[in-house]
Amino acid sequence: MNVLRSSTLLRNLAATAIFLVIGFLAVYSVDEYTAGTVAKLALYICAALGLTVLVGGNGQISLGHAALMAIGAYTMAKFLPSRTDDFGQVSIGVIVVGLILAIAVTTLVGAVIGVAAARLRGPYLAGATLALGVAVPGVTTYFHDTFNGEQGLPIPVPRLPASLESAGWTIGHVVALIAIACAAVALLLMANLKRSAVGRHLAAVRDHEISAQLCGLSVPREQVRAFAFSAATAGVGGGLLGLVIQGANPHSFGLVLSLSVLGAVVIGGLGSLRGAIWGSIVVVYLDLILKDELKVDPNAPAAAYGLLLIVVMLAMPGGIQGLLTRLGGRLPRRSAQPQGGN
Amino acid sequence: MKTTIGTGRVARPGRRTALATATLSLALVAAACGGPGGSGGGGGGGSVPGVTDDTIKIGTTQPLTGPAAPGYSRISKAMDAYFKHVNAEGGIHGRKVELLIEDDGYNPTTTAEKTRKLVQQDKVFAMAGALGTPTHTAVLDFLRQSKVPDLMVSSGSLSWNQAEKYPNTFGWQTDYFREGKILADYAKKNVDGKTYCSFGQGDDLGADGVKGVEQILGGDALKAKESYSPSNTNVAPQIGKLQAAKCDVVFGFMIPGFTALALGTSAQLDYHPQWVISSVGADPLSLKAYLKENAEALTQGVIAANYLPVVGTDDPWAKMFTDIHKEYNDGAELDYTTLHGYCMAYAIAQALAAAGEDPTRESLVKAIQEGKVSAGPSPTPYAYSEDDHSGMTGSYISTIDKLQVKPLTKPLVTDDADGAVEEYDGEAEEPPSNGVPE
Amino acid sequence: MERFILFTVNGFAFGAIYASVALALVIIWRATRVLNFAQGAQAVASAYVAWSVTDATGSFWLGVLAALVSGLVIGALVQLTVFRKAESMPHLNAVIVGVGLLILIQAVLGMAYSVETTRTIDAAFSSSKWQVAGTPLVSPQDVFVLGSVLLVMAGIGYLMAKTPVGLRMRAAAFAPDTARLMGVKVSRMLTLGWAVAGLAGAVAAILVVPTSAELTPQVMDGVFVLGFTAAVVGGLDSLVGAVVGGLGVGLVLSYTSGYLSSDLLYPAALVLLIVILLVKPEGLFSAAQARRV
């Protein structure tokens, strides 16, 4: 335990292991449909983790994160062999390579956008990223030969090893496992990032630019870095969304997705990695519960979601994680674990 | 809030870490030994998903919210009303039809989720009449993998006719390519105009339609080809270009709202070409709702394709659906979008009936492929066969006269390739007396 | 040439609409340093009020009047209920509150007004173009749209610069503590700012909805994004900037649609925004220095 307490990396590894185990167990024990919702949750977590580092950790804003996610999905679609065999399946290894490529391309684009973004302040950056977010459909339609317009491009699914198939696993379960694994890796990397020198640099820039500069930090460089990190997880999130819906198309990566991921970050608690998880759970399952279980008016889930955003922002700006931390603070401390988001 | 989240599958990292490795190894062992626990159903015994002794469950995805809802939410209401009627008449082979309608807000991600829910959780027998090209494209592969019959997709895209790749998916309405051919053939023979142009939606509706026109008139017959994006209602630049190119015949492949915008904008520019438009955007009642007092003047003389029975005449099908509409729906004047829903629901009922007393997913697909779905209310026969999964084979040409559809031709049929456009001489079918297919 | 004239007139007409949205955003930004993401949705709510009143009374102008009044009321209500608290929070919090309100208002409108009915709002005047030497030039509605926007700009500019109320509003915005010492009811002035912005938004809705096939809760979405672009291009602090930004965006987009492709509308807006902001990071009509990368 002493080792765990003193080493951030080990502690984060352990946390990631727990996340993985619970995620895998969850996928293992549910039916294929629920596994699909777990996959969606995991990809939201991926995207939200990066966005929370950008918004909460570095003080920038992105209202067009779905555009970065779209880049991830389209990279997957372009790289993965278009379906030629009977069921359009490729091996899991190829999918993993596709996801890595998605991350690489999106990170690169994110860094470029970051260079522009670093020159802009709050509302101006909000405007620019909003415009970025709504530009995707037009680009895919105009470059129809490359992106196949509104219908988009297909993305193959992982081939199920025969042994797993006979044991009752489905493609949906495998996709969910891949998504959980990606979320776990993203969690590990982001947690380490936050505790590293880079993470402190990012936070320093967020908290006080001039002081950060006095300490010898280049403000724009830190901001570009933050954008690149968040683009990386958005890329993997987008690639995963492509896997889940078996394709990349402009409608799936619209403003609704940008605002949903941002909503997850805010509801969970800005800047908190755990918060990104809570927020994603709320955003993904609120809609499902209201629509599928309660059968309310089709517009009601949106109304509830909008109301929730307002209430959380006004009444508990720290989000769910902030609330948990406050509740936790009232209890007697059992151990000397460090405070703050993991 | 937390209690409603459900399974609580995500832990709060960073606590009780000593347990982690133990749990991990346990999970790995468990994974190696057995299969996932909850994935039962589907495979067991001879039972058919979605079919019981007295019910048969089918699913559909439709836009009930969002920007596409105002135009298209009427379709699922009509489907629902028709199956209420069927059930009141005793159902199909004694089984009540349970239609599950899921709202996808015209967002393909949601379509994918809701289709999964219908197939994996609700275990529907088949998908039927799912609406939209980009939306339904997102689930084609999933439905193929799940081996779920996918009937009468509610869009005129050519994508549904890929029997080899998607053996369970069937189109229904006349596809945009066929309509383009039929409109062009009519214009070539009957419209005095020399300069042909087109104005279409920037997706398969516009693209396939224009391809159809060019199939008949030749690759360079269209002097100007303009398109619009549904997210931008400013169509004046494009209409202005058509005017500047002196187009006197414009083939339009638009949704009704944009037909209204195009007609209105041209009139404002004092530009009066002969509009020749596909069925999708040609419903006079919808146009009347958009254009109000100007509707009659603006739509007068527009030439349009139509694949549905004519409302307001003595067409027995239109009468039958009007009666059902009065009894089971809101009873407002029957428009062509709603009629689309009724006719499609009828074709679905035909397919379910043809699948036999003890339907299976295989028997359902086989029945459609064997041509057991007769034209019914459709003026042209269906193309269904083992290697052709497109639906209606054509349309008749009509004109809008005082906001009524006035047919100008007999039903015209053609194929999805380079075949000619021909008149269809088959006898029109009589509707069954109780409105339920045998 | 004929086409160039058409695209230019069209660019001005739609640019004026973007400008009207931009004006509403700028008013609030100046008054409270909040970017109101719910502005478009509030405007749509006003449009539904207009439709309901016109539907009930048969009078178009009564509907317009109702929309303007409801714009004022909704603007004030929104500030009093949610934004009063959000104003004192970081920018981002107010942005999120605005997004939440946008989603909420659209959903509530969706519930209150069934999609079964098709709703439209007429143009105030004829949209048929006057012909000059056989070339369609401008329509009365084009003139009305441009005139309304210039009137709103001038009216608000006058209110702010020349009237005691305007002075108090500016004082409340720029030096709230001092203003309070001088006896200005600061919170009331801020509410007033939101109400005026709501009015400008309602004007925008009355101009926008006739250009669209029908009134839906989402009808302002695209226009809001472009209006936002216009406000940012113009510099968020300047009323003149909002109008110039709006007209500039309108022209660029009209030429893009006309000469290239209408698919490129939003990509062109993005490119325009990025180019302007890279040269002047706080918009055309601001004196601020560029941050160096």
Restricting to A residues 134-173, those with a Cβ less than 8 Å away from any Cβ of B are 137-138, 141, 144, 149-152, 154, 157, 167-173
Decide if B229 and C265 are in contact by the 8 Å CB cutoff.
Answer: yes
- Residue B31 within any structural domain of the chain: no
Domain membership flag for residue B117: yes
Does residue B297 sit in the same domain as residue B209?
Answer: yes
Write the secondary structure of chain B as one string of H (helix), E (strand) and C (coil). CHHHHCCCCCCCCCCCCHHHHHHHHHHHHHHHHCCCCCCCCCCCCCCCCCECCCEEEEEEEECCCCCCHHHHHHHHHHHHHHHHHHHHCCCECCEEEEEEEEECCCCHHHHHHHHHHHHHHCCCCEEECCECHHHHHCCHHHHHHHCCCEEEEECCCHHHCCCCCCCCEEECCCCHHHHHHHHHHHHHHHCCCCCEEEEEECCHHHHHHHHHHHHHHCCCCEEEEEEECCCCCCCHHHHHHHHHCCCCEEEEECCHHHHHHHHHHHHHCCCCCEEEECHHHCCHHHHHHHHHHHHHHHHCCCEEEECCCCCCCCCHHHHHHHHHHHHHCCCCCCCHHHHHHHHHHHHHHHHHHHCCCCCCHHHHHHHHHCCCCCCCCCCCCECCCCCCCCCECEEEEEEEECCEEEECCCCEECCCCCCCCEECCCCCCCCCCCCCCC
Which of B65, B233, B236 faces C6 most closely, judged by CB atoms?
A: B236
| Alpha-carbon distances of C201 from A296, B154, B413, C23, C81, rounded to whole Å | 31, 38, 51, 8, 18
Give the tokens for residue B27.
């999970």
CA A6/CA B48 separation, integer angstroms: 58
> What residue segments make up the domains of chain A, in order of their start?
2-253
- Highest average pLDDT, of B177-186, C23-32, C209-218, C279-288, comes from B177-186
Reading the block at residue C229, the tokens are 């672009």
Closest listed residue to residue A228, CA positions, set A87, A52, A109, A65: A109
List the one residue out of C227, C33, C49, C266 whose CA is nearest residue C149: C227
Q: Say yes or no: B322 and B224 in one domain.
A: no
The tokens for B386 are 């083992």
- The secondary structure element, H or E, covering residue A291 is none
CB atoms inside a 10 Å sphere around CB A219: 18
The reply to whether A300 touches chain B by the CB within 8 Å rule is no
So what's the pLDDT on residue A83?
A: 53
Facing residue for C10 by CB, picked from B67, B233, B237: B237
pLDDT at B22: 37
CATH of the domain at B138: 3.40.50.2300
Structure tokens at C164: 């005691």
Same domain, B251 and B298: yes
> Which of A82-86, B1-5, C11-15 shows the lowest mean pLDDT across its residues?
B1-5
Q: What is the pLDDT of residue A88?
A: 65
Instruction: Find the CB nearest A170 among B1, B31, B39.
Output: B39
Q: What are the C-alpha distances in Å from A107 to residues A140, A181, B5?
A: 20, 19, 32
Residues of B in contact with A144 (CB under 8 A): 207
CB-closest option in A16, A25, A83 to B13 = A16
CA distances from C144 to A285, C64, C70, C203 (A): 48, 14, 21, 11
Give the chain C residue whose CA is nearest to the CA of A207: C90
Evaluate whether residue B38 is within a structural domain. no
CB within 8 Å of A307: residues ≥ 6 apart: C100, C104
Total length of chain A: 342
What whole-number distance in Å separates Cα of residue B66 and Cα of residue B106?
7
Are both B222 and B316 inside the same structural domain?
no
CATH 1.10.530 is the classification of domain C2-114+137-279: no
Which structure tokens are listed for A64?
């067009």
What average pLDDT is seen over chain C? 89
Same domain, B301 and B181: yes
- Whether A96 has a pLDDT exceeding 50, the answer reads yes
> How many beta-carbon contacts under 8 Å exist across B and C?
103
Q: How far is CA B79 from CA B126, B156, B160, C53, in A?
A: 15, 18, 20, 34
Mutation target among B113, B135, B211 for the A interface, most CBs of A within 10 A: B113
Provide, as residue numbers in chain B, all residues whose Cβ is less than 8 Å from the Cβ of A23. Answer: 9-10
Please check the confidence at residue C282 and state whether its pLDDT lies above 70.
yes
Cα(B339)–Cα(B331) distance, rounded to whole angstroms? 12
Q: Mind listing the pLDDT tens digit for each residue in C119-143?
A: 999 998 988 888 887 778 889 999 9
C139 lies within 8 A of chain B by CB: yes
DSSP string, C8-28: HHHHHHHHHHHHHHHHHHHHH
Q: How far is CA B49 from CA A293, B84, B365, B429, in A?
A: 21, 21, 15, 33
Confirm or reject contact between C128 and chain B (CB < 8 A): yes
Looking at the fold, whether B166 and B258 belong to one and the same domain comes out as no
- Write down the ipTM of this complex: 0.89
Determine, for residues B244 and C261 on separate chains, whether the beta-carbon distance falls below 8 Å: no
From the CB of residue B18, how many other CB atoms can be counted at a distance below 10 Å?
A: 9
Task: State whether C111 and A303 contact (CB < 8 Å).
Answer: yes
d(CA B267, CA B141): 45
Same domain? For B236 and B156 the reply is no
Nearest CA in chain C to B203: C263
* Residues of chain C with C-beta less than 8 angstroms from the C-beta of A317: 89, 93
The encoded tokens of residue B277 equal 């438009």
Pairing type for strands A153-154 and A247-248 reads antiparallel
Among B12, B138, B422, C238, smallest CA distance to A341 is for: B12
- Under a CB-based contact definition with an 8 Å cutoff, are residues B85 and B435 in contact? yes
Identify whether residues B329 and B295 lie together within a single domain: no
Pick the last residue of a domain from B372, B391, B410: B391
The alpha-carbon gap from C1 to the nearest alpha carbon of chain B, in Å, equals 10
Model pLDDT for residues C136-186, shown as the tens digit of each residue: 888 999 999 999 999 999 999 999 889 999 888 888 888 888 888 888 888
Query: Could you say which of A63, A142, A306 has the minimum Cβ distance to residue C264?
Result: A142
Mean pLDDT of C211-222: 91
Q: Which residue on chain B is closest to A242 by alpha carbon?
A: B109
For chain A, say whether B234 makes contact (Cβ under 8 Å). no
Q: What is the sign of the dihedral through the CA atoms of B417, B421, B427 and B430? A: positive
For chain C, list the contacting chains (3+ Cβ pairs, <8 Å).
Answer: A, B
Interface probe with B: pick from A18, A46, A292, most Cβ of B within 10 Å: A18
**CB contact, 8 Å: C80 with chain A?**
no
Q: Which residue has the higher pLDDT, C31 or B2?
A: C31
| Comparison of pLDDT for B210 and C187, the residue scoring more | B210
Q: Which two tokens stand for residue A86?
A: 């009977």
Task: Calculate how close chain C gets to B411, using CA atoms only, in Å.
Answer: 31
- Chain C segment 147-186 residues within 8 A of A by beta carbon are none
| CB nearest to B204's CB, from A137, A151, A289 | A151
Tell whether the model's pLDDT for residue C293 goes beyond 50: no
In chain B, which residues have their Cβ closer than 8 Å to the Cβ of C120?
289-290, 292
Contact C118 B202 (CB under 8 A): no
Record the tokens describing residue C28, joined without a space: 């609030």
> What is the number of other CB atoms lying within 10 angstroms of the CB of residue A235?
33
Q: What is the maximum alpha-carbon separation in chain A?
A: 63
* Chain-chain contact of A310 with C82 (C-beta, under 8 angstroms): yes
Q: Which residues pair with B171 in a beta bridge?
A: B153
Q: What is the pLDDT of residues C33-73, one digit of tens each?
A: 888 999 999 999 999 999 999 999 999 999 999 999 999 99
Q: What is the mean pLDDT of residues A127-131?
A: 89
CA distance A314 to A318: 10
If asked whether residues B143 and B210 sit together in one domain, one would say no
- Which tops the pLDDT comparison, C287 or A297? A297
For residue A179, pLDDT beyond 90? yes
| Cβ contacts of B240 on chain C, cutoff 8 Å | 3, 6-7, 10, 258
The count of residues in chain C is: 293
Give the residue carrying structure tokens 């997706």. B203
Flag if B120 and A36 touch (Cβ within 8 Å): yes
Total of domains in chain B? 2
Distance between A132 CA and the closest CA of chain B, angstroms: 15
C164 neighbors C191 (Cβ within 8 angstroms):
no
pLDDT confidence band for A5 (50 / 70 / 90): low
Min mean pLDDT across B379-383, C114-118, C242-246 is at C114-118
The Cα of A45 is separated from the nearest Cα of chain B by a number of Å equal to: 11
Query: B104 and B64: one domain?
Result: yes
Nearest to C106 among A123, A127, A302 (CB): A302
B192 and B99 in one domain?
Answer: no
The mean predicted confidence, pLDDT, of chain A is 85
Which domain does B209 fall in, by range? 177-306
Backbone φ, ψ for residue A90 (5° rounding): -130, 165
Q: Is A120 left (phi over 0), alpha (psi -120 to 50) or beta?
A: beta
pLDDT in tens, chain B (438 residues): 333 323 333 333 333 333 333 344 334 434 433 444 443 344 434 589 999 999 999 999 999 988 888 889 999 999 999 999 999 999 999 999 999 999 998 999 999 999 999 999 999 999 999 999 999 999 998 999 899 999 999 999 999 999 998 999 999 999 999 999 999 999 999 988 789 999 999 888 999 999 999 999 988 999 999 999 888 889 999 999 999 899 999 999 999 999 999 999 999 989 999 999 999 999 999 999 999 889 999 999 999 999 999 988 888 999 999 999 999 988 788 899 999 999 999 999 999 999 999 999 999 999 999 999 999 999 999 999 999 999 999 999 999 999 999 999 999 999 998 999 999 988 888 999 898 998
Of B65, B233, B241, the CB nearest to C212: B233
**Residue A335 pLDDT:** 41
User: Using an 8 Å Cβ cutoff, are A35 and A27 in contact?
Assistant: yes
